[in-house]
């Protein structure tokens, strides 16, 4: 099993993600510069959090045109697991692999805190290790992470089971219907604003994030 973590200008959670995959889950993992990612033979790919290209235009908009995204789109069509975390989620939306929009937080402030989540869908490549409706404790850290969609889209996502996670109780960013993670129709592409790599070690405050990566392993081995 071999995974790739894509590094963009401004990525700041790339090495954290590599650490969890390589040192905790013992998965062969390469950190690949975005311009150099042309090998679609990897079993899975993760777009980590950060601020790609400084996000000067719009979060994820420039990175969506990176050469790496051609390879990632091809991998997604093949059914391989593709995970976008925070800025990675923004990139997947800008690329068109996931629906909706990610807007500035309702408070217009950067929000960094641990949040209570409910797992809505356990059939995706990154949530199968969870029990449905179980709770997870992970941190968020973003300025433009307010998932937004028109009512028709939100209702369709809910009907199709493509809402993966929601806030429980407090909605600190004002995201539509508390949604913080969604998937594509096949379930192999997932974008999430919470940071599972920062919730994969007790020293950091919790290990619920490990189930995200275990789900990926289970999906590949099935």
pLDDT on residue 58: 84
197 is catalytic: yes
Q: Which tens digit of pLDDT belongs to each residue from 64-107?
A: 999 999 999 999 999 999 999 999 999 999 999 999 999 999 99
DSSP letters, 62-123, are TGGGSTHHHHHHHHHHTT--EEEETHHHHHHHHHTSS-SEEE--TTSS-EEEEEEEEE--SS
Question: Distance from first CA to last CA of the chain, Å, rounded?
Answer: 12
Where along the chain do its domains lie? 2-221
**54 SS3 class:** helix
Please tell me the CATH code under which domain 2-221 is placed.
3.40.50.880
86 is catalytic: yes
pLDDT on residue 57: 76
pLDDT on residue 53: 86
Rounded to whole angstroms, the Cα distance separating 43 from 182 reads 21
Annotated catalytic residue within 13, 34, 86, 144: 86
186 is catalytic: no
Rounded to whole angstroms, the Cα distance separating 222 from 105 reads 38
C-alpha 56: how far from its chain's center?
Answer: 21
Rounded to whole angstroms, the Cα distance separating 165 from 109 reads 22
Indicate if the pLDDT at residue 56 is higher than 80.
no
Span 115-121, average pLDDT:
97
Rounded to whole angstroms, the Cα distance separating 213 from 196 reads 8
Query: How many degrees, rounded to 5, is the angle at CA 95 between CA 89 and CA 100?
Result: 60
Annotated catalytic residue within 94, 142, 144, 195: 195
Rounded to whole angstroms, the Cα distance separating 162 from 186 reads 9
pLDDT on residue 18: 98
Nearest C-alpha neighbor of 73 from the set 86, 64, 61: 64
């Amino acid at each position: 099993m071999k995974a790739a973590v894509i590094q963009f200008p401004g990525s700041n959670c790339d090495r954290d993600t590599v650490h969890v995959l390589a040192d905790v889950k013992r998965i062969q993992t390469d950190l690949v510069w975005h311009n150099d990612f042309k090998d679609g033979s990897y079993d899975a790919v993760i777009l980590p959090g950060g601020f790609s290209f400084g996000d000067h235009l719009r979060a994820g908009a420039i990175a969506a045109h990176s050469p790496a995204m051609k390879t990632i789109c091809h991998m997604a069509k093949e059914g391989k697991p593709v995970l976008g975390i925070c800025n990675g989620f923004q990139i997947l939306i800008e690329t068109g692999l996931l629906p909706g929009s990610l807007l500035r937080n309702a408070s217009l402030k950067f929000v960094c805190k641990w949040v209570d989540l409910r797992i809505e869908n356990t059939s995706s490549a990154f949530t199968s290790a969870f029990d449905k409706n179980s709770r997870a404790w992970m941190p968020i850290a973003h300025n433009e992470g307010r998932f937004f969609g028109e009512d028709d889209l939100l209702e369709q996502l809910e009907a199709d089971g493509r809402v993966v996670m929601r806030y429980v109780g407090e909605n600190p960013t004002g995201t539509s219907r508390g949604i913080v993670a969604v998937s594509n129709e096949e379930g192999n592409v997932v974008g999430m604003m919470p940071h599972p790599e920062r919730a994969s070690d007790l020293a950091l405050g919790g290990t619920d994030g490990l189930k995200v990566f275990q789900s990926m392993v289970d999906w590949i081995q099935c």
